[in-house]
Amino acid sequence: MTVRIVCVGKLKERYFEDACAEFQKRLSRFVSLEIAEVADEKAPESLHPADELLVKEKEGKRILKCIGQKDFVVAMSIDGKQMTSEAFAAFLGEKETGARPLTFVIGGSLGLSDEVYARANAKISFSQMTFPHRIARLLLLEQLYRGCKIRAHEAYHK
Protein backbone atom coordinates (compact mmCIF):
# COMPACT_ATOMS: atom_id res chain seq x y z
CA MET A 1 0.00 0.00 0.00
CA THR A 2 1.22 3.48 -0.80
CA VAL A 3 0.79 6.02 1.99
CA ARG A 4 1.53 9.66 1.36
CA ILE A 5 1.67 12.42 3.96
CA VAL A 6 1.34 15.94 2.62
CA CYS A 7 2.16 18.52 5.24
CA VAL A 8 2.62 22.25 5.47
CA GLY A 9 6.00 23.27 6.79
CA LYS A 10 9.30 21.56 7.41
CA LEU A 11 10.66 19.90 10.50
CA LYS A 12 13.11 22.36 12.02
CA GLU A 13 14.21 20.58 15.17
CA ARG A 14 16.64 17.67 15.00
CA TYR A 15 14.71 15.65 17.59
CA PHE A 16 11.55 15.74 15.46
CA GLU A 17 13.56 14.77 12.38
CA ASP A 18 15.09 11.84 14.27
CA ALA A 19 11.77 10.65 15.70
CA CYS A 20 9.99 10.87 12.34
CA ALA A 21 12.89 9.13 10.59
CA GLU A 22 12.68 6.27 13.09
CA PHE A 23 8.99 5.68 12.39
CA GLN A 24 9.55 6.03 8.64
CA LYS A 25 12.18 3.30 8.90
CA ARG A 26 9.86 1.07 10.94
CA LEU A 27 6.99 1.62 8.51
CA SER A 28 9.11 0.68 5.49
CA ARG A 29 8.39 -3.02 5.96
CA PHE A 30 4.64 -2.43 5.86
CA VAL A 31 3.95 0.39 3.39
CA SER A 32 5.54 2.49 0.68
CA LEU A 33 5.70 5.86 2.43
CA GLU A 34 6.12 9.25 0.80
CA ILE A 35 6.24 12.58 2.63
CA ALA A 36 5.69 15.81 0.73
CA GLU A 37 6.39 19.06 2.53
CA VAL A 38 4.90 22.23 1.11
CA ALA A 39 5.99 25.73 2.09
CA ASP A 40 4.03 27.50 4.76
CA GLU A 41 2.90 31.07 4.32
CA LYS A 42 4.26 33.59 6.77
CA ALA A 43 1.38 34.61 9.00
CA PRO A 44 1.74 37.09 11.86
CA GLU A 45 -0.14 36.38 15.08
CA SER A 46 -2.90 38.89 14.37
CA LEU A 47 -4.32 38.50 10.89
CA HIS A 48 -7.55 39.84 9.52
CA PRO A 49 -9.94 36.94 8.74
CA ALA A 50 -9.68 37.72 5.01
CA ASP A 51 -5.90 37.44 5.23
CA GLU A 52 -6.20 34.13 7.13
CA LEU A 53 -8.36 32.83 4.30
CA LEU A 54 -5.77 33.95 1.75
CA VAL A 55 -2.98 32.15 3.64
CA LYS A 56 -5.01 28.92 3.76
CA GLU A 57 -5.85 29.21 0.06
CA LYS A 58 -2.18 29.63 -0.93
CA GLU A 59 -1.12 26.67 1.20
CA GLY A 60 -4.11 24.70 -0.08
CA LYS A 61 -3.05 25.15 -3.70
CA ARG A 62 0.39 23.78 -2.85
CA ILE A 63 -1.18 20.82 -1.04
CA LEU A 64 -3.52 19.99 -3.92
CA LYS A 65 -0.58 19.83 -6.35
CA CYS A 66 0.80 16.93 -4.28
CA ILE A 67 -2.41 14.87 -4.40
CA GLY A 68 -3.08 12.42 -7.20
CA GLN A 69 -6.46 12.18 -8.91
CA LYS A 70 -7.01 8.64 -7.64
CA ASP A 71 -5.77 9.22 -4.07
CA PHE A 72 -8.04 8.54 -1.12
CA VAL A 73 -7.47 11.74 0.85
CA VAL A 74 -7.73 12.05 4.62
CA ALA A 75 -7.68 15.56 6.05
CA MET A 76 -6.30 15.69 9.57
CA SER A 77 -8.75 18.03 11.23
CA ILE A 78 -9.81 18.92 14.76
CA ASP A 79 -13.42 18.28 13.74
CA GLY A 80 -12.66 14.95 12.10
CA LYS A 81 -13.64 11.50 13.30
CA GLN A 82 -11.82 10.26 16.37
CA MET A 83 -11.10 6.56 16.63
CA THR A 84 -9.19 4.02 18.66
CA SER A 85 -5.90 2.62 17.40
CA GLU A 86 -7.70 -0.64 16.60
CA ALA A 87 -10.34 1.20 14.58
CA PHE A 88 -7.59 3.12 12.77
CA ALA A 89 -5.89 -0.20 11.98
CA ALA A 90 -9.17 -1.49 10.55
CA PHE A 91 -9.47 1.72 8.49
CA LEU A 92 -5.97 1.07 7.09
CA GLY A 93 -7.00 -2.47 6.25
CA GLU A 94 -10.04 -1.24 4.31
CA LYS A 95 -7.88 1.17 2.32
CA GLU A 96 -5.21 -1.47 1.69
CA THR A 97 -7.63 -3.57 -0.32
CA GLY A 98 -8.18 -0.74 -2.79
CA ALA A 99 -5.59 0.19 -5.36
CA ARG A 100 -5.75 3.87 -4.45
CA PRO A 101 -2.87 5.59 -2.66
CA LEU A 102 -3.85 6.74 0.84
CA THR A 103 -2.93 10.39 1.36
CA PHE A 104 -3.05 12.16 4.72
CA VAL A 105 -2.97 15.96 4.78
CA ILE A 106 -1.69 18.01 7.71
CA GLY A 107 -2.35 21.74 7.44
CA GLY A 108 -0.43 24.75 8.64
CA SER A 109 -1.00 26.87 11.72
CA LEU A 110 -4.32 28.19 10.39
CA GLY A 111 -5.65 24.82 9.22
CA LEU A 112 -6.71 23.66 5.78
CA SER A 113 -8.44 25.52 2.97
CA ASP A 114 -12.01 24.81 1.91
CA GLU A 115 -10.63 23.44 -1.37
CA VAL A 116 -8.55 20.84 0.47
CA TYR A 117 -11.54 19.86 2.62
CA ALA A 118 -13.65 19.56 -0.54
CA ARG A 119 -11.05 17.18 -2.03
CA ALA A 120 -10.85 15.05 1.12
CA ASN A 121 -12.68 11.73 1.24
CA ALA A 122 -12.53 11.62 5.04
CA LYS A 123 -11.51 13.69 8.05
CA ILE A 124 -9.71 12.22 11.07
CA SER A 125 -8.83 13.86 14.37
CA PHE A 126 -6.35 12.68 16.98
CA SER A 127 -7.88 14.92 19.61
CA GLN A 128 -10.00 17.99 20.15
CA MET A 129 -6.76 19.69 21.11
CA THR A 130 -4.68 21.59 18.57
CA PHE A 131 -1.15 20.32 17.81
CA PRO A 132 1.69 21.96 15.91
CA HIS A 133 2.19 20.34 12.49
CA ARG A 134 5.46 18.67 13.51
CA ILE A 135 3.78 16.94 16.46
CA ALA A 136 0.81 15.99 14.30
CA ARG A 137 3.21 14.45 11.78
CA LEU A 138 4.97 12.43 14.47
CA LEU A 139 1.62 11.29 15.92
CA LEU A 140 0.43 10.25 12.47
CA LEU A 141 3.60 8.28 11.73
CA GLU A 142 3.40 6.55 15.11
CA GLN A 143 -0.26 5.67 14.65
CA LEU A 144 0.38 4.38 11.13
CA TYR A 145 3.10 2.14 12.55
CA ARG A 146 0.87 1.05 15.43
CA GLY A 147 -1.95 0.30 12.99
CA CYS A 148 0.35 -1.79 10.81
CA LYS A 149 1.58 -3.72 13.84
CA ILE A 150 -2.00 -4.36 14.96
CA ARG A 151 -2.92 -5.60 11.48
CA ALA A 152 0.15 -7.89 11.45
CA HIS A 153 -0.78 -9.26 14.91
CA GLU A 154 2.63 -8.23 16.21
CA ALA A 155 3.48 -6.96 19.69
CA TYR A 156 3.93 -3.20 20.19
CA HIS A 157 0.47 -1.76 20.40
CA LYS A 158 -0.41 -2.77 23.97
Residue 100, helix vs strand vs coil: coil
Residue 45's pLDDT band, with cuts at 50, 70 and 90, is: confident
24 close to 35: Cβ distance less than 8 angstroms: yes
Boundaries of domain holding 130:
2-42+49-151
CA gap 108, 112 in Å, rounded: 7
Is 134 domain-assigned?
yes
CATH number at residue 73: 3.40.1280.10
CA gap 99, 71 in Å, rounded: 9
Over pLDDT 70: what percentage of the chain?
A: 99
Is 129 domain-assigned?
yes
Residue 110 DSSP one-character state = T
Instruction: For residue range 74-110, list pLDDT tens digits in order.
Output: 999 999 999 999 999 999 999 987 778 999 999 998 9
User: How many other C-beta atoms are found inside a 10 Å radius of the C-beta of residue 49?
Assistant: 7
Is 128 domain-assigned?
yes
Among residues 110, 144, 121, 105, the alpha carbon closest in space to that of 1 is found at 144
Is 157 domain-assigned?
no
Instruction: For residue range 117-138, list pLDDT tens digits in order.
Output: 999 999 999 998 888 889 999 9
116 close to 60: Cβ distance less than 8 angstroms: yes
Give this prediction's pTM.
0.93
CA gap 154, 115 in Å, rounded: 39
Beta bridge partners of residue 102, listed in sequence order: 3, 72
Task: Please state the domain count of the chain.
Answer: 1
Ranges of H-type helices in the chain? 14-27, 49-65, 85-96, 114-119, 133-151
pLDDT of residue 33: 96
